[in-house]
Amino acid sequence: MDHASHQTSPTDRVDAQPKEPTRALRRATRTARLAARSADAAATREFPVLLTVDDAADLLRTTSRAIYVMVDRRQLPGVTRIGRRLLLRADDLLDWLDQKRAPLPKE
């Protein structure tokens, strides 16, 4: 068999799949995990859940950098620092979002 006549396609390559998940895939996974935890907490009504900056960014549909800026400006409620770690209470964030919501137009 002539090796020059055989061409490899991208599907033939072993390393065709990226080894590192994409940023969008990681964010979607975090969002799904957060939604599952929120559903579990709502069902059992446990103590408030502490969110990481990434989880809070997913909940508010923004970036982690924007979360840090809002914390520095004291715009977000429920901020807790444990050492260097920044955590936010999910219940406080959800209540804050409800207060910020625009009223529905009357028909």
pTM (two decimals): 0.55
Strand order, beta sheet including 79-82? 50-51, 85-89, 79-82
Domains of the chain: 22-100 (1.10.10)
Q: For residue range 51-103, list pLDDT tens digits in order.
A: 999 999 988 899 999 999 999 999 999 999 999 999 999 999 999 999 988 88
Q: 92: which 2 tokens? A: 């406080």
d(CA 63, CA 92): 19
d(CA 90, CA 59): 9
Q: For residue range 40-62, list pLDDT tens digits in order.
A: 655 544 455 899 999 999 888 99
d(CA 68, CA 85): 12
